[in-house]
Structure formats: C-alpha cells, structure tokens
Amino acid sequence: MSTEQVTQKAKQTIRSVKEMLGKAEDSTHRALDRAAPAVVKSLDASLEAASKAFAKTTKTIDGATTDEQVKLFRAYKKLLEGQVGLLDARIMALEERAKPREPHQSTLQ
C-alpha cells in the first residue's frame, strides 16, 4: 500500500470516527432527554470535552509522518477499544443487577 493510500485511509478513518462520535452524541442526547433530563446537563460538558479531545488528538496525529500516523492511530484505537470494553463491562453489570431475581427455593418442600 502506498504512502498516499495509507494517508487517505487514515483521513477516511478520522472522518468515520468523527461521524460516529457525532451520531453517538446525538443518540445519547435523545435517550437522555427521554430518560433523565437532569443527567443531560451533567453529561453535556463531558461529551463536548470528549469530542474536543478527539479532534485535538487527530489534528496532532495529522502532523506526523505517515508511518507515525499509522502507529499513533493504532495506539489510539487500542485506547478507545479499552474504554469501550470498560463501558461494556459496566453495562453488563448493570443489566445483571436489573434482572429480576428468582424467588428463593425452600428446601423444606
């Protein structure tokens, strides 16, 4: 793969992630607007900060050589995947707690 192809692929990935973040932010806002309006206010700053941090990171990476960009984006992707893993674990724990408990079976039947 040529350097130009790698650069184009990296830029395409950045656009896709930015679009995904925008969609995630929008859907999160809609869900929170329905479920917990007070939470929306507290998360707005966090979502905005996350979007700004992503934009700043990608802008910084854009200044690197193509080979460095590939390495940096792979490392950044691992970081984000780790954060997604933590969110998945938290969601699973919450879902587990939300499951209805089975009635305690008496051993004296």
Q: Is residue 64 a part of any domain in this protein? A: yes
Which phi and psi (to 5°) does residue 64 adopt? Answer: -85, 170
pTM of the model: 0.51
Q: Is residue 57 a part of any domain in this protein? A: yes
CA distance 67 to 88: 31
pLDDT band with cut points at 50, 70 and 90 for residue 106? low
Which phi and psi (to 5°) does residue 101 adopt? Answer: -80, 145
Helix, strand, coil tally for the chain in percent (to 5): 85, 0, 15
Domain containing 56 equals: 3-98
Kindly state the average pLDDT of the residues 42-54.
81
Q: Is residue 39 a part of any domain in this protein? A: yes
Query: What's the number of CA atoms in the CB half-sphere (13 Å) around residue 50?
Result: 14
Q: Is residue 105 a part of any domain in this protein? A: no
pLDDT exceeds 70 at position 25: yes
Q: Is residue 11 a part of any domain in this protein? A: yes
Q: Is residue 47 a part of any domain in this protein? A: yes
pLDDT exceeds 80 at position 107: no
DSSP 107: S
Q: Is residue 108 a part of any domain in this protein? A: no
Total count of domains within the chain: 1
